[in-house]
Amino acid sequence: MKPKEIKKGIFQVGVTDWNIRDFHGYSTESGTTYNAFLILDEKNVLIDTVKKEFSDQLIDNIKSIIPLEKIDIVISNHTEMDHSGSLPAVMHRVGENKPLYCSKMGEKNLSLHYQKNWQFHPVQPNETLNTGRYTLTFLETRMLHWPDSMFTYLNEEKILFSSDAFGQHYASQYLFDDQVEDKIMDYAKKYYANILLLYSPLVQKLLKQVTDIGLQINMICPDHGIIWRKDPNRIIKAYHQWSLQKPIKKAVLIYDTMWHSTETMAEHIVQGIADTGTEVIPMHLRKCHRSDIMTEVFDAKAIIIGSPTLNNGLYPTISDLITYMKGLKPKNKIGAAFGSYGWSGEAVALINQEFDAMKISRVDDGLKIQFVPDKKVLDQCSEYGQKIGQLIQKEDA
């Protein structure tokens, strides 16, 4: 897409990646964008770049506004390659001797990505930079979501360039929140659940800091997706809410199956939960992507995992999901395990171990049955679902 002016003299010069469907293991069903921002002033500033394979598009976008050598300062808010990948190509044209502003960890991490003799200017937290009309302030936001992550705030226009925070993997012809429908919040939520969830305590700290210093925000420009201009407070409020990790009365039942036995159990547990009037979402691991599952896990009270026993162990997709979920450190959950097995039946105990490691409080030791569930077992599954549903209703979530 062509660059667009977001405020007089301030341009989105980034690119749209319409076709990406797998972003390092996160399913991006609507593609994404890599946003970069050009601020024209006495000193011209570029904030962030794009993925390496889109370098030419970024350069063309900038060129349609000013020649690259007219850029005086480049700022890297985040070193991950979707935002730094085009730095070598850009710096080459801007001039390798131009200052490259980043955080202290940004300097370290960029040096570990690219073997270049760039003129790093590691900023102190809250350091300011005057570019003529404008003053930029750098806010340290370590671990949101990398050690190098920082925000750049344009004081006069009250624009926050927030790197990955407040972003969404969402490609469209539109630029702003008021041009897209409410569904954008679902993309923002998925982003939070899959990228930021584990840093929720830091999100809370940051939001408190922002309130305490009374930072006014007219516009939030993240590095992915649309820009929040109509109501930047909406996404800030959502982040506040999400970072509290208060579950809703909902169960997610995640399972895989080999000969439909664990699946049949799943169906009856789901029915049992539904019988108590509790929301329940069954997710088959070979039908649902782990990043979509995580979005549901994120605000659910109960995580129910069903696995067949394969060669004395967990079914591989279950291990995949658990590894992924564990890293994102979901809080305030209850857990339950179930599964059908042939002869040894280790899976349920293995899931229980994982629940314990994740500090997810278990309903009990789970439900395991040999081979194909009969009527009696299926009644047991329904009762199990009812028990879980009642527990969810009881918990003051």
Partner 1 sequence: MDKYVCSICGYVYDPKQGDPDNDIQPGTAFKDIPDGWNCPVCGASKDEFVKEE
Pairing relationship of beta strands 26-27 and 22-23 according to DSSP bridges: antiparallel
Among 17, 41, 48, 80, binds Fe ion (CB under 5 A): 80
Cα-to-chain-centroid distance, residue 266: 28
164 is a site residue for Fe ion (CB under 5 A) = yes
Active site residue 260: no
Stretch that binds partner 1, among 64-72, 91-99, 140-148, 378-386 (CB under 8 A): 140-148
Dmax of the chain from CA atoms? 78
d(CA 121, CA 101): 5
Q: Min. distance of Cβ 36 from Fe ion in angstroms?
A: 12
Which residues from 44-103 bind partner 1, rule CB under 8 A?
Answer: none
Among 17, 41, 48, 82, binds Fe ion (CB under 5 A): 82
d(CA 64, CA 69): 13
256 is a site residue for Fe ion (CB under 5 A) = no
Catalytic residue among 26, 34, 48, 78: 78
Check: CB of residue 229 under 8 Å from CB of residue 257: no
Active site residue 80: yes
17 is a site residue for Fe ion (CB under 5 A) = no
Catalytic residue among 17, 41, 48, 80: 80
User: 150: part of which helix (H) or strand (E)?
Assistant: strand 150-154
Which residues from 309-328 bind Fe ion, rule CB under 5 A?
Answer: none
d(CA 272, CA 264): 13
Among 199, 338, 355, 384, binds partner 1 (CB under 8 A): 199
Q: Is 284 helix (H, G, I), strand (E, B) or coil?
A: strand
d(CA 106, CA 52): 18
Among 1, 202, 215, 274, binds partner 1 (CB under 8 A): 202
Q: Min. distance of Cβ 161 from partner 1 in angstroms?
A: 21
Catalytic residue among 134, 170, 191, 199: 191
Pairing relationship of beta strands 71-75 and 44-47 according to DSSP bridges: parallel
Q: What is the DSSP string of 89-133?
A: HHHHHH-TTSEEEE-HHHHHHHHHH-----EEEEPPTT-EEE-SS
Q: Min. distance of Cβ 140 from partner 1 in angstroms?
A: 8
- Closer by beta carbon to partner 1, 199 or else 255: 199
Q: Give the x/- contact pattern for partner 1 in 144-163, rule: CB under 8 A.
A: ---x----------------
105 is a site residue for partner 1 (CB under 8 A) = yes
140 is a site residue for partner 1 (CB under 8 A) = yes
Q: How many other CB atoms are there within 10 angstroms of residue 20's CB atom?
A: 20
**Site residues, partner 1 (CB under 8 A):** 105, 140, 142-143, 147, 199, 201-202
**Site residues, Fe ion (CB under 5 A):** 80, 82, 164
